[in-house]
Each structure stands twice: as structure tokens, then as C-alpha cells.
Amino acid sequence: MAKHAGKLWLLLFLSPGLCFTEYSLEAEEAILCSSYTCKLSTQEFTSETCIYYDSSGNGTYYVTNCTNVAYPYCPESAGKNSTCAIKPDPTNVAKWPGEKCVSNDDCSNYATKGCVEGICRGSSIGESCTSQNNCDPGYHCSNSTCVLQLEIGEKGCNEDGDCVNSAGCDIATNAKPGTGVCIEYLSVGEYHRVQSCDSTDYTNMLCASNLCATQCYRSYCLPRLPSLNQPPVACTSNSNCSSVIDPQYEMPLYSQCTCGFNPEGKAYCGLFPGDTLYGKYLDKLTDYLESSALLYCNTERRFNPVCMKDWWGAKNMAIYSYYYTIVFDYPDIQNNQDCVAEIFNAKYVSISQQYEYYLDNFGNVLTLLSGVVFASMIN
């Protein structure tokens, strides 16, 4: 199942007829964050130092670029200094069954037949498997044999991997094996039942909103609730990170207050599914789920970026990755200075550059300066 964005909590108003599991915000301590800023003009670093950490107060990271071509890479550090180093070699990503290849060397051990006509091949229907990873697209591993994935509406699954790639397994946590039903992702409407709800972040990808709640041991999908205040929302605890009040259960949700990489040492609230950028992520995810691209991925790789890019294309993947990263790393990317973003949010900088390359008009989504983050993201 795809990763879900940010942790969300319910603030519960316990009243007759309601029996949610209570989560209390009252005992939370204020979050204290370090500051991240470019090296000051008055500072002198020792040779090859690219990050100087000042431990006074809540801590401050002073950052500068590496200028020696032999050591151009600055490793991200936590609570210590960092020196310029040789840039690591890119990791060679081995491919799973269904993914594109040039030679057998491109394929992982799961693709037991190697590279066949440009595609890594594993076990087909009726052939042996030790895990879901061994089966070619369209199949899953059951009793050590690759068999057809279960269709939408079909009963008998234990996990998402048993279902066709556009569906997940709707099964209760303590249910008997093989009693789940394959349900299309993002298809269950608000306040409709699902068999489970993640107790750590209140998400269920079967829900159209990706949000759920559990009442009296029954789980329900929630609507796409937006943030109470316009993002980005600076915070000192989760209690500052409220959604609007849910109209049926008459309660808000709370996202996680997380420290970022900004010079002010601020923390920011995570996004909610009703916020514009989160909504764009869900919309782009829907585009992928409705495409033929995911049919060509191994069941365990249905949301893996390598397989997604192979079959969905670089442009679609760039746009999806852009919104995906915003949603999951939203506090991290607020008010980054350029030098800080290049080190502590290098992945986001790269993804933003790809997004810029593929789109001619960004509207008011992102402001870029020399290809790196310059301004805060807006809702």
C-alpha cells in the first residue's frame, strides 16, 4: 500500500452513543526546533567544513557550498559538523518482474528468468514462488504458486498484494485468513464502512479521502477535511494543527507538528486531504490508478516509483512525485534557504527541477530561484 501523508489524530468529544478511542492533546509539550541557515559572512569555517553545528540554545546549523571539485558532496548531519566528501555513486536499482531491462544484470533475484525481450520476468501462472515478489504482473503468490490476482469485489484476500493492482484488501485486523474483499482504491465514500482504520494515522487508502475513523469498533471513511487555517501553519504542538470540524462526528482532526529546515527554527503542521496540494496528490494518484500502467507492475511494486516511471512515463511520474513529496515532507520544505535546501532537501530540489522541466506554467504552486526552493509552499 502507498505511504500515507503525515500523522493525523482525532480530538474526541465523548458523548452517549460515541465510543472512539481517546487521544489527549493536553499533556503535549511545546516542540523545540533547531535553525538552519546559510553561513554568515562573518564566519570562518575550517577546511572542507560545509555544515557547522552550534549546539547553543535549540541548535543552529550553518551551511555553505562545497567548492572543491574533488569533494563536491556535503553529507547531511544531525547534531554535528559535516565535511565535504566524494559524491556517492548512484545505487544501481535491480528490477522486479514486469519492469523494463536491457540485460539480465538489470533484474533482481526475484526475476528468476532474467531479462526477456526488454522485461524482467519471474514466475507465471502455475509456477512456483516463495513470495509475492516472484510473480509476474497479474499474479500473486498463493500456497507457493503464482495464481491470478483477485478481482474487485472478489472475496478471499489477506493483503493488498492478493488483489488486482487497482484494489486493496478490505479485511479486519483480527479476521480469519482469506476473508477479505478486494475493494477499489479511493472508492469508498464518506461515512461508509471499511473493515479497518490505521490507528496511528487514521488512514485507509480504500477511502476516497484516504481518511477514516473508528467508532464503537466499526471503521468509517471521513470526508476530505481541510486545515482550519490556511497552510503553511507554524506550530509549537499538534494542538495548533487542527482541521475544520467534521460535520457528522462534530470533531476536528489534528495533523503532526514537525520541525522543518528553516532559519527561524519553526515547526509546521502537516496537510489534510481537503487542502489543495494534498487534493492534487490524490487526484494524480487517481490518474495512475485509472491508467493501464499499474497493470504492468509486480503486485508488491504497484506503487514503486521505478515501475511507475517505467510504464506511466517520466512526465506523469515527475508531477506525481512532486505532489507526493510536498504532502509527505510539507514541514521540511517551508522557508528553506537555497544552500540548506540543496543539502537537507536535495530530493525535493531534484523533484522540483523535474517538475519545472515538464510543465510550462506553474501557476502559483511553486516559486523557484535557480532551480531550488526560494519561497514557502502555499496551499
Residue 1 maps to a domain? no
| Helix intervals (H) in the chain | 276-289, 305-312, 314-328, 338-344, 346-358
| Residue pLDDT, tens place only, 318-377 | 999 999 999 999 999 999 999 999 999 999 999 999 999 887 544 434 433 333 333 333
pLDDT computed for residue 25 by the predictor: 53
**pLDDT averaged over the chain?**
88
Residue 43 maps to a domain? no
The burial of 24, by beta-carbon neighbours within 10 Å (0-12 exposed, 13-18 middle, 19 or more buried), is given as exposed
Residue 191 maps to a domain? yes
| Residue pLDDT, tens place only, 97-123 | 999 999 999 999 999 999 999 999 999
178's torsion region: left (phi>0), alpha (psi -120 to 50) or beta?
A: left
How many domains does one find in the chain? 1
Give residue 15's pLDDT band: very low, low, confident or very high (50, 70, 90).
very low
Q: Does 24 have pLDDT greater than 80?
A: no
Q: Does 47 have pLDDT greater than 70?
A: yes
Q: Does 39 have pLDDT greater than 70?
A: yes
Task: Please give the average per-residue pLDDT across 266-278, as a whole number.
Answer: 96
| Residue pLDDT, tens place only, 140-194 | 999 999 999 999 999 999 999 999 999 999 999 889 999 999 999 999 999 999 9
Residue 102 maps to a domain? yes
Select from 138, 140, 136 the least CA-distant residue to 158. Answer: 140
Q: Does 27 have pLDDT greater than 70?
A: no
CA 162 – CA 215 distance, rounded (Å) = 28
Residue 36 maps to a domain? no
**Which residue, chain included where needed, has cell 478511542?**
21
Q: pTM for the whole thing?
A: 0.86
pLDDT computed for residue 234 by the predictor: 98
Write the single-letter amino acid at 45. F
Q: What order of strands is seen across the sheet that includes strand 167-170?
A: 155-157, 180-184, 167-170
pLDDT computed for residue 19 by the predictor: 56
Per-residue exposure over 253-274, b if at least 16 CB sit within 10 Å of its own CB, e if not:
bbbbbbbbbbeebbbbbbbbbb
Q: Mapping DSSP to helix (H, G, I), strand (E, B) and coil, where does residue 118 land? A: coil
pLDDT computed for residue 299 by the predictor: 98
Residue 112 maps to a domain? yes
Range of the domain at 364: 8-29+91-373
| Residue pLDDT, tens place only, 192-233 | 999 999 877 788 999 999 999 888 888 999 999 999 999 999
Residue 176 maps to a domain? yes
C-alpha cell at 26: 493536553
Q: Mapping DSSP to helix (H, G, I), strand (E, B) and coil, where does residue 161 land? A: helix
Residue 58 maps to a domain? no
CA 63 – CA 263 distance, rounded (Å) = 11
Cis peptide bond upstream of 232, omega within 30: yes
